[in-house]
Amino acid sequence: MGNAYTPGLKVVNRITHQCRRILPIPGKVLVSKGDHVEAEQVVAQTFMPGDIMPVNLANLLSMPPSDVMECVLKKVGERIEVGEPLAQTKGIFGMFKQVYKSKDAGTIETISDVTGQVIIRGEPIPVEVRAYLTGTVTEVIPEQGVMIEADVSFVQGIFGIGGESFGTIKMAAASHEQELQADMITPDMKGCVIVGGARVWHDAVRKAIEVGAAAVVAGGIDDQDLKKILGYDLGVAITGTEKVGVTLVITEGFGDIAMAERTFDLLKARVGDFAAVNGATQIRAGVMRPEIVIPLSEEEVKAEEPAKLDGGMLETGRPVRIIRDPYFGLIGTVAGLPSEPQVLGSGSKARVLDVKLGSGETVVIPRANVELIEG
């Protein structure tokens, strides 16, 4: 067998990128097919049913649940405001009546004579979906959302935290091997996507948050730095909802590892351009990697050849990245693909490949421990 399927992370100068932007529940789509949309433009919106507040009147007014129905002053479906009487007891001979004033505003959803509980539903919660990708609407999915397409430069990271953010690209590191330290982050990086080289330090991320940066992109990060940024030890790589104040994209992995040179060079070539960044990572079913999407102008589209992606086939001569120790992070080319499984140092038998490293040395690596550099 001459090849094997080993998908890698995409780092491409030009690719036609599609993006599906969908509401969590049905709503209204605000744009039409063929429209040009900007990244931060709202393309669909809806209202989620408001929060619900249970009020146990039987307990609050010390009465049997079966009496609650006749003491509630509002009907199901009626509005109530904060401070407005919700229920009043009958009292004794019309005296000593107790009144319960609502602590919440909303609509009466249910009144129960079994539990004595009244449910108040709060104001509907607006939900908006932004375009994220500056481009053209290619499809409208009625009541749900849209498909957007654009020619972009596209960089996939391996891991990230934080959701979608937007800003112009600014280089903080001079080379792909330079670590990103706090003193390299300056106030003029406010609102920018800051690009480092190798490992990003915890205090550099803090400084980026301080100056109001939109995102930080770096080659590696130390496990303990991530823990300090998040405030907890990350157990499972499902991220994107963190609210740390900045979006973080790591392109290579954990440890002292330099950013791949071509990733660094691509981002450097796009300095000053607007980028959409998403740190969301999900490594279980339906894999999602963090990304940096840089829309191309019409001139750039004309000047740049679209990348040819060949679906992740591992073949002799293809560039690969080694993704596990003892050679973690090294980049080389496929020098051979022996078909028979071989016994590894661990004693396990697995299919392997020969990788020629930049140093000229050739090493034997399990096929599961490499990924293609695509694009």
Partner 1 sequence: MTTTTKSDAQQARVILATDCGSTTTKAILIQLTDEGYRQTHRGEAPTTVEEPFADVTMGVVNAVVEVGELAGRKFIDDSGKIIQPATETEGCDVYISTSSAGGGLQMMVAGVVAEMTAASAKRAALGAGAIVMDVIASNDKRKPHEQIQRIRELRPDMMLVSGGTDGGDAKHVVSIAELIAPAKPQPRFGSGYTLPIIYAGNKDAAPRMNKIFEQGFELLIVDNLRPVLERENLGPARDAIHDLFLEHVMAHAPGYDKLMGWTDAPIMPTPGAVGNILQTIAESQNINAVGVDIGGATTDVFSVFDKTFNRTVSANLGMSYSISNVCAEATMPNILRWVHFDMDERELRNRVKNKMIRPTTIPQSLEALVFEQAVAREALRLAYIQHKEFATTLKGVQQQRSVGDTFSQETGGQTIVDNMKLNLLVASGGVLSHAPSMNQTALLLIDAFQPEGFTTLAKDSIFMMPHLGVLAQVHPKAAMEVFERDCLIYLGTCVAPKGSGKPGKPCFDYTIKGSTLNESGQIAFGEIKLLPLAEGETASVTVEPGRTFDCGNGPGKRVEKTVKGGTVGLVLDGRGRPLELPESREACKPLISKWVEAMKLYPGMG
Residues that bind partner 1 (CB under 8 A): 24-26, 49, 51-54, 65, 109-110, 112, 114-115, 117, 119, 121, 158-159, 222-224, 226, 233-237, 253-255, 281, 283-286, 323-326, 328, 344-350, 365-366, 368-369, 371
Q: Are 97 and 91 contacting, i.e. CB atoms less than 8 angstroms apart?
A: yes
Bridge pairing between strands 164-171 and 36-37? unpaired
Long-range contacts of 77-82 (CB under 8 A, 24+ apart): 77/107, 77/108, 78/107, 78/108, 79/105, 79/106, 79/107, 79/108, 80/104, 80/105, 80/106, 80/107, 80/108, 80/120, 81/105
Based on CB atoms, which residue is closest to partner 1, 59 or 186? 59
- Name the minimum Å distance from CB 347 to partner 1: 3
Residue type present at position 63: M
Based on CB atoms, which residue is closest to partner 1, 119 or 335? 119
Based on CB atoms, which residue is closest to partner 1, 35 or 203? 203
Based on CB atoms, which residue is closest to partner 1, 2 or 235? 235
Look at residues 228, 223, 226, 229 and name the one whose alpha carbon lies nearest to residue 245.
229
Count H helices and E strands in the chain, helices first.
6, 29
- Name the minimum Å distance from CB 223 to partner 1: 4
- Name the minimum Å distance from CB 365 to partner 1: 7
* CA torsion angle 193 168 240 329 (round to 10): -50
In DSSP terms, 274 is beta-bridged to: 168
CA atoms within 13 A on the CB side of 114: 1
Helix/strand/coil percentages in the chain, nearest 5: 15, 40, 45
SS3 assignment, position 262: helix
* d(C-alpha 42, C-alpha 51), whole Å: 24
Based on CB atoms, which residue is closest to partner 1, 40 or 139? 139
- Name the minimum Å distance from CB 104 to partner 1: 10
Based on CB atoms, which residue is closest to partner 1, 153 or 251? 251
Based on CB atoms, which residue is closest to partner 1, 190 or 351? 351
- Name the minimum Å distance from CB 237 to partner 1: 5
Based on CB atoms, which residue is closest to partner 1, 186 or 348? 348
- Name the minimum Å distance from CB 131 to partner 1: 22
| The pair of three-digit structure tokens given for residue 49, joined into one six-digit string | 């049913």
- Name the minimum Å distance from CB 297 to partner 1: 31
In DSSP terms, 167 is beta-bridged to: 275
Helix H or strand E encompassing 42: strand 42-48
φ/ψ of 370, rounded to 5, equals: -130, 155
- Name the minimum Å distance from CB 72 to partner 1: 15
Based on CB atoms, which residue is closest to partner 1, 237 or 301? 237
C-alpha Rg value of the chain to the nearest Å: 28
- Name the minimum Å distance from CB 70 to partner 1: 18
Based on CB atoms, which residue is closest to partner 1, 99 or 125? 125
- Name the minimum Å distance from CB 291 to partner 1: 15
Total residue length of the chain: 375
